[in-house]
Amino acid sequence: MTVTQLSTFVLVARLGSVGAAARTLNVSESAVSQALAALRTHFGDPLIRRTGGGMRLTPAGARLLPVASRMVALSADAEAAVRAARGAPDELRVVATSTLAEFVLPSLVEAFACRSGRRTETSFGVAAGNEIRVLVENRLADVALGPCLGAARRGELVSEPLFRTWLVVVIGAGSPRPPGPPPRWSWLVDSSGTDPDADSGRLLRRLGVAEGHVRVFPNQAATWAAAAEGAGVAPALAHLVSPRIRRDELRILETPATPSDATWHATVLQPEHRSPATDAFLRFLHTPAATRIMRAPGAGVPPSRFRPPVYVTLWGT
C-alpha cells in the first residue's frame, strides 16, 4: 500500500469517476485503475463499485476514505517538514479555473516570484470547480483561484474574495441579434462552459441552454474570435474582453441573466495547515500589484523583463 494508491482512491471517491481522477492527476485512466486494483488486492475488498449513477463506496471503502484522507494529508506534512529541514526551496502549487489560468495566473505567479524574494518552486495547473476543492482538501494543491467554494467538510477550507468583475455575453460587432430566445442561440464556450461551478456553466444552466446549442473551444480567446466572425455568442468577463470591444471586434449583448456578478476567490486550507509559501502568496494576492494584474493581466510584467524562473507543470502523486 502506497501514498500514491491512497491518493488515487481518495480522488476517485471524491470526484466520482476514474476519468475525473485521471484528468486531475494528469495520468491515464489505466494508471488510476491499476492503483485501485492494488488497494483492492491489499484489503481484499472492492472498495468502490461502478453503478448506473457513477461510483459507490462499499462499507469498507466508506470506512477507509476518511482514514486515507488523513494519511495523504500527513504524507504532505511529512514531505514539507523534510524539505524545510534540508533547506530546500518552498513549494507552492496553484490551481485555477480555465479563464484565470489562461489570462491571469501566469502573470500573478511571475510577479509573486519577482517580488517575494523567496526561493520557491512553483507549479500551476487547470481544474474544474469540483476538482479544485478536492485538490486543496487533499493537499494536492496549496491555493485554488476561482469560484467561492463555500463551507467545506469539517471547515477545512477558507475562500477569500479577491476581485469582482461582471459576466457578459458578447457577439460580433457587426452581427445582428440572434433570432429567438437565448436558449436557441449558438453558444461558444471554453471548458468553463461545461463546468457547472464556473461562471459560464452557471449562465448556460440559468438560461436553459441545451447541449446541442453549445460549441466548446480550446480557450476563451478562441471563443471570442469565433464570435467576432459571426459564429455565435460567447460568455466573457467584462474587464478581460473590453480591449476587443474597444477595437470594435465585439459588442455586449444583453440577456435576461447578464450582466451578472462574477467574483474571483482564493481558496486555501485553514492557517494551521498552510505552508509559509502559501501564506506569502495569499498576502500577495491582496496587494495593489496583484489587483492591477487581475484587472489588466497584460500589464503584469513588461515583456523586456519577462524571464520566467518558475517551474511549470501539472502534478501527479
- Tell me what pLDDT residue 150 has: 65
The three-point CA angle 150-151-155 to 5° equals: 145
At 57, is the secondary structure helix, strand, or coil?
strand
User: Residue 27 corresponds to which cell in the numbers above?
Assistant: 495520468
Antiparallel, parallel or unpaired: β 143-146 and 214-216: unpaired
The three-point CA angle 41-47-48 to 5° equals: 125
The CB density around residue 73, as the number of other CB atoms within 10 Å, is 17
Rounded Cα gap, residues 21 and 29, in angstroms: 8
- Tell me what pLDDT residue 44 has: 93
- Tell me what pLDDT residue 301 has: 38
Antiparallel, parallel or unpaired: β 120-126 and 187-189: unpaired
- Tell me what pLDDT residue 75 has: 86
Q: Which parts of the chain register pLDDT below 50?
A: 152-153, 299-317
Q: For the segment 60-72, what is each residue's pLDDT rounded down to a tens digit?
A: 999 999 999 889 8
Q: What angle do helix axes 3-15 and 129-137 make, rounded to 10 degrees?
A: 140
Antiparallel, parallel or unpaired: β 54-57 and 90-96: unpaired
DSSP 8-state symbol, 304:
G
Q: For the segment 53-105, what is each residue's pLDDT rounded down to a tens digit?
A: 778 899 999 999 999 988 988 888 888 788 778 877 788 889 898 889 889 98
Q: Give residues with Cβ within 8 angstroms of 282, minimum separation 6.
A: 143, 160, 266, 268, 274
User: Residue 307 corresponds to which cell in the numbers above?
Assistant: 524571464
